[in-house]
Structure 1
Amino acid sequence: MFGIATMAITAPLFFLIILRIDALRSMFYSLLLVSLSAYFIWGMESRAVAASSVQGMYKATYIVVILFGATILVHLLQQTKAIETIQQSFQSVSQDPRIYIVLIAFLFGSLIEGIAGFGTPVIIIGPLLVALGFKPLSAAALTLIANRTSSQFGAVGTPIFVGYSNVTEASTSYFQQLSFEIIILDALPTLLTPLALIYMYNRFFASEHKAMRPYIIWSLFIGLSYMLFSLLYVQFLGLEFVSILTPLTMIAIAVFTIKRGIFLPKSKCKAPLIYSRRQLIGAWSPYIVIVLLLGVTRLLPPVQEIIQSLLRIEHRSILGVEAIDGNLSIFYSPGIILMLASLIGLLIQRQPLRLYQAAIQQSFRKVGKAALTLYCTLILVQIFTNSFINNNNLPSMPQYVADVMIGQFGGVWLFVAPFLGLLGTFITGGATISTLTFASIQESVAIDLSLPTKLILALQMTGATTGTMVSINNVVTASAVLGLLGKEGQVLLKTIIPAVLYLVFTTVCAYLILFIFK
């Protein structure tokens, strides 16, 4: 039965990596296998399978709207030549692509994740890196790796507030304590992330290899500062603002150090800024509007409530199955913000509106295959998650997997805990859902094995956020935006080893914490 329970994990890996089949066919075949196994072997009710499929469509639609909006934005940036202006503005600070990775993928991406969450940087940052000269494969892989650190506090703390909402001591003060523990536990991975990004680029993607030594001190300084400011903000302002104020602070610090040559060789190859202030504002206006709109709609509760209620579709007890619901708030999707920001940016640049119409038509053609892949993926996820509705009196497949792992690996649970979180994100697509699924299980295991509960719960989150690097949803979305459809397996191969290394670093930190405070 364990093989059936893990099929939602093993089947996509087999088709994508071993057989190297494109993501659409891989996820379609995986969906068929999981659906048939859930019905015939697990004993899942046919209505539950059908209702889970509808529920998956609701969740996939939310992501598809984001993908559609991002594709419009990318098309307009190219058509208006704004992307060339943005490229030149970065080159006026530095022309070193290794610096871009940290400044754009890590720090600017963290800001977008902190406000919007749900892997939004994968859609926004990747095309920006391509415009700066990165190859699509490197842009996809590096963006996925860079997005990990901020995911645990993304969307104004959603993974914490929602992910841990079913633990015994769920409260604001407890979440605050957990957040502090997560940052401490994640200290080593956060410290090493900027350096790892530069190394990955240098080792696998650079056309010319440069010595790493000139970048070591600066990248470690950025990583250390990011961790320290995260601790400062979570302690004095609250966990909601960690992934917003920390990257904002660090962007300012990073630009200052780059321009002054602090911890870096002073750049001698900066390009002179050839565009006027008005041209720069026009080119950057879509991104400025994105940050402003995301901030207003996520940080102001009255506005947030109004936006969430507009064009909201709620479907209770789908097909009569009480445990399965679906909902969709169209206007709250970051995709709508991307579409609106694209239009406003077009008006600010005084470009003809026919470009917007052309962008919509182009996006419809480009998004189709990725949308089908996402629908297959999310339907599979919901069948996997809702498999507790069965006639064989079995727990859900995620619960069954966790129970078997507890029995087999209870003695090394400090390593297994983040790995379980990673598996959850790999399947469900998000650290929030992974933690919501497994947090109560992790809490029970910690109590049974006499391990520190907060430490184990923190390991769940660090593992879940590491899973965003290899999540099928994120990999497919990044591939679609960057024109890599059919090459999802290649992207996954570039991110899976760093993901495993992050788990190792996290486990080392956990054992150190346990040893010091035992």
Structure 2
Amino acid sequence: MLLAAPPHVSLATYHQDYSPLGDSLGLSSLVAILPLVVLFILLGALRMTAWKAALISLAVAVVIAVGVYSMSIADTLNSGLLGAAFGFFPIMWIVINAIWVYNLTVETGHFDVLRRSFASISDDQRVQAILIAFCFGALMEALAGFGTPVAISAVMLIALGFKPLKAATVALVANTAPVAFGALAVPITTLSGVTGESVNDLGAMVGRQTPVLSVFVPLALVFIVDGKRGLRQTWPPAVVAGVVFGAFQYLSANYWSVPLADIIGALAAALAILVFTRFWHAAEGYVETDTDDDGPAPAAGTGGTRVATDTQPVVRDTPVEVFRAYAPYLAIIVVFVLATRVPAITGKPPKGVGESGTGLEAATRIVNWPGLHIFNAAGDPVATTFKLNYLSAAGTLLLLSGLITMAVLKVGAGAGVRAYGATLKQLKTAILTVMLVLALGFIMNESGQTTTLGLWMAGAGAAFAFLSPILGWLGVAVTGSDTSSNSLFGVLQITAASKADLSPILMAAGNSSGGVLGKMISPQNLAIAASAVGFQGKEGILFRRVVGWSVVFLAFMCVLVYLQSTPVLEWMVVGK
């Protein structure tokens, strides 16, 4: 039922009712969760194409918003339009330009130079797995995300002699700790957008969770490549990479720059491995000898040899070519440091509608979304603004980095435009999917469906802290995106947190940190990995190889978040 409108509120508004089916919050929750159940079944069980599943689930959310929550069709569709707009800008605006920069390096051949540069650091494939899947994969996650690091890392590992399915497995498991800060922290930006919490606070809190996880991920990669023998012989570089990455991810997220957390962590870890392997070598090296992976994979620790068998002609790249291969990523770092850390350039953003900013933020405008006026059950207005930060947006900074890359790699304007067009064509389905999922999330949020679920789940009390990462894990496992999961469950997390007397920032961060562990088992990511290594249709084999790691890491994250909600680790929580 609708609440009576306060005297100062226009009648052309929508008032959220969190229990539209009467006093039974549980019954209302069963209806509110239907769009998510439909999405999970279509993606997880029926393996439907992501955009089709999102579209059908969106239709279900519209029907429930209109038929059960008494939201007008106009307000419902308008809420979805706001979500779709947010899905394109700033989210997909970042991804489009990040993939474009990567495609420029592929077109000019400098991606191969980069691969050979990594291979020259060590001929031990256990170290290569850490360097490429964990360090370089984290860099790719930072710049693009959305399956890109899995595909690129798997292909690079195969080029270095890894068996296809093992390469895919390593790439999937490695794509965990960096995910929350992927695509220049798009998941955290999205989480901030739907919850209203500060990007810096959310980034800092996630930066006190995933760095702990990162210590163990390289050790898992070494075990996948060479089992117990690999752990005995190669644990030192694995620990170095995990600790250095985690330390710099924490420092960046808490003190320097949330969008650059993965970039700084990845480069620091790669540099640490480069220096460490100059003084340390395993007692025995490890190189795969049989790249025929058509049948069941051998058990971990078998199928390799301690004798290098590389018979390919050696290609020696000039220092200039190596510099050019790294130049795009150096350009991104320089541009982002100047744009986000130099006050005279960064400026100050506007604080509200109609206000002006300074520096790059001078062009930023915050506007009320036309025709959308929503109030919560207490009669307070629900924010329905849209931020247009044309110059300071991460996607725009990536576009500028791409223009610099074109100059360094000597790419002509015509070739750059063609590469951009090819990138748009490559990402058209991803763009549609993300916009549909964000539309679904915004309709559920604005109509009150998500709050209904949060109020119901808050009944778990303090135990909700343990369940928080599981929600994020489930969301990413089904949607394939930490961004989408945060959009779907962000408001639910903080609603449940407020009712259970838990930190909203901790629970929201728990959603994102738990979500990173669902990435490796999501049907979309499994399909990307299988396709990258030429084993389409064997997603089931990959799933069985990685699901154990996903569950074990998830249990670890649940315990960590729960302890952070108690006096044991409460000192780790932002604001405590």
Q: 1:264 to 1:349 in 2, by over 3 A?
A: farther
Aligned partner of 2:360 in structure 1 is 307
RMSD: 4.6
Q: Does 2:48 correspond to 1:4?
A: no
Query: What's the CA shift for 1:214?
Result: 2.7
Q: 1:497 to 1:380 in 2, by over 3 A?
A: farther
Q: 1:379 to 1:294 in 2, by over 3 A?
A: same
Residue correspondence of structure 1 range 122-137 to structure 2 within 5 A: 122=146, 125-126=149-150, 128-130=152-154, 132-134=156-158
Query: 130, 141, 160: which is aligned to 2:172?
Result: 141
Farther off after superposition, 210-219 or 149-158: 149-158
Aligned partner of 1:393 in structure 2 is none
Give yes or no for contact 2:97–2:395 (8 Å, CA) kept in 1: yes
Q: Percent identity?
A: 17
Higher share in helix: 1
Give yes or no for contact 2:493–2:511 (8 Å, CA) kept in 1: no
Residue correspondence of structure 1 range 182-221 to structure 2 within 5 A: 189-199=213-223, 211-221=230-240
Query: What's the CA shift for 1:73?
Result: 2.4
Q: 1:147 to 1:7 in 2, by over 3 A?
A: farther
Q: Does 2:241 correspond to 1:222?
A: yes
Aligned partner of 1:391 in structure 2 is none
Q: Does 2:93 correspond to 1:93?
A: no
Q: 1:442 to 1:36 in 2, by over 3 A?
A: closer
CA separation in 1, counterparts of 2:407 and 2:247?
A: 40
Letter in 2 for 1:328: L
Give yes or no for contact 1:234–1:242 (8 Å, CA) kept in 2: yes
CA separation in 2, counterparts of 1:296 and 1:401?
A: 42
Query: 331, 338, 344: which is aligned to 1:289?
Result: 331
CA separation in 1, counterparts of 2:224 and 2:38?
A: 28
CA separation in 2, counterparts of 1:73 and 1:44?
A: 43
Give yes or no for contact 1:67–1:477 (8 Å, CA) kept in 2: no
Q: Does 2:500 correspond to 1:441?
A: no
Aligned partner of 1:390 in structure 2 is none
Give yes or no for contact 2:469–2:513 (8 Å, CA) kept in 1: no
Query: What's the CA shift for 1:109?
Result: 5.5
| Superposed CA offset, 1:177-205 (max 9, x none) | x95x86666675232122234445679xx
Give yes or no for contact 2:97–2:398 (8 Å, CA) kept in 1: yes
The 3-state SS of whatever aligns with 1:327 is strand
The 3-state SS of whatever aligns with 2:121 is coil
Query: 97, 106, 122: which is aligned to 1:78?
Result: 106
CA separation in 2, counterparts of 1:354 and 1:110?
A: 31
Residue correspondence of structure 1 range 420-499 to structure 2 within 5 A: 420-422=471-473, 429=483, 437-438=491-492, 440-447=494-501, 453=502, 457-458=505-506, 460-470=508-518, 498-499=549-550
Query: What's the CA shift for 1:421?
Result: 5.0
Aligned partner of 2:469 in structure 1 is 418
Letter in 2 for 1:277: P
Query: 513, 538, 555: which is aligned to 1:504?
Result: 555
Query: What's the CA shift for 1:37?
Result: 1.9
| Superposed CA offset, 1:416-438 (max 9, x none) | 23334556776882687678625
Letter in 2 for 1:379: A
Residue correspondence of structure 1 range 271-290 to structure 2 within 5 A: 274-290=316-332
Query: What's the CA shift for 1:92?
Result: 0.8
Aligned partner of 1:327 in structure 2 is 387
CA separation in 2, counterparts of 1:151 and 1:404?
A: 31
Q: 1:57 to 1:488 in 2, by over 3 A?
A: farther
Residue correspondence of structure 1 range 400-415 to structure 2 within 5 A: 400-407=452-459, 409-410=460-461, 412-415=463-466
| Superposed CA offset, 1:162-185 (max 9, x none) | 89865xxx999xx59x95x86666
Give yes or no for contact 1:82–1:282 (8 Å, CA) kept in 2: yes
Query: What's the CA shift for 1:80?
Result: 0.8
Q: 1:151 to 1:191 in 2, by over 3 A?
A: same
Q: 1:287 to 1:327 in 2, by over 3 A?
A: same
Query: 425, 428, 434: which is aligned to 1:365?
Result: 425
Structure 2: 5+ residue stretches without partners: 1-27, 159-163, 287-306, 348-358, 375-381, 571-576
The 3-state SS of whatever aligns with 1:429 is helix
Structure 1: 5+ residue stretches without partners: 204-208, 388-395, 448-452
The 3-state SS of whatever aligns with 2:278 is helix
Aligned partner of 1:39 in structure 2 is 66
Q: 1:248 to 1:435 in 2, by over 3 A?
A: farther
Give yes or no for contact 1:148–1:466 (8 Å, CA) kept in 2: no
Give yes or no for contact 1:373–1:476 (8 Å, CA) kept in 2: no
The 3-state SS of whatever aligns with 2:122 is coil
Q: 1:498 to 1:309 in 2, by over 3 A?
A: farther
CA separation in 1, counterparts of 2:264 and 2:283?
A: 24
CA separation in 2, counterparts of 1:337 and 1:123?
A: 21
The 3-state SS of whatever aligns with 2:387 is strand
Q: 1:26 to 1:380 in 2, by over 3 A?
A: same
Q: What is the total number of aligned residue pairs between the two structures?
A: 482
CA separation in 1, counterparts of 2:195 and 2:57?
A: 29
Query: What's the CA shift for 1:317?
Result: 3.5
Give yes or no for contact 1:122–1:478 (8 Å, CA) kept in 2: no
Give yes or no for contact 1:22–1:488 (8 Å, CA) kept in 2: no
Aligned partner of 1:102 in structure 2 is 130
Give yes or no for contact 2:154–2:529 (8 Å, CA) kept in 1: no
Q: 1:320 to 1:79 in 2, by over 3 A?
A: closer
Q: 1:210 to 1:294 in 2, by over 3 A?
A: farther
| Superposed CA offset, 1:194-253 (max 9, x none) | 2234445679xxxxx984443334323433454456677889x57868666555543332
CA separation in 2, counterparts of 1:194 and 1:285?
A: 26
CA separation in 2, counterparts of 1:56 and 1:199?
A: 42
| Superposed CA offset, 1:419-462 (max 9, x none) | 34556776882687678625643543443xxxxx55x8535413
Query: What's the CA shift for 1:272?
Result: 6.9
Q: 1:51 to 1:423 in 2, by over 3 A?
A: farther
Query: What's the CA shift for 1:130?
Result: 4.8
CA separation in 1, counterparts of 2:344 and 2:537?
A: 40
Letter in 2 for 1:282: R
Give yes or no for contact 1:260–1:266 (8 Å, CA) kept in 2: no
The 3-state SS of whatever aligns with 2:316 is coil
Give yes or no for contact 1:152–1:431 (8 Å, CA) kept in 2: no
Q: Does 2:305 correspond to 1:253?
A: no
Aligned partner of 1:29 in structure 2 is 56
Aligned partner of 1:450 in structure 2 is none
Query: 333, 340, 347: which is aligned to 2:400?
Result: 340
Aligned partner of 2:301 in structure 1 is none
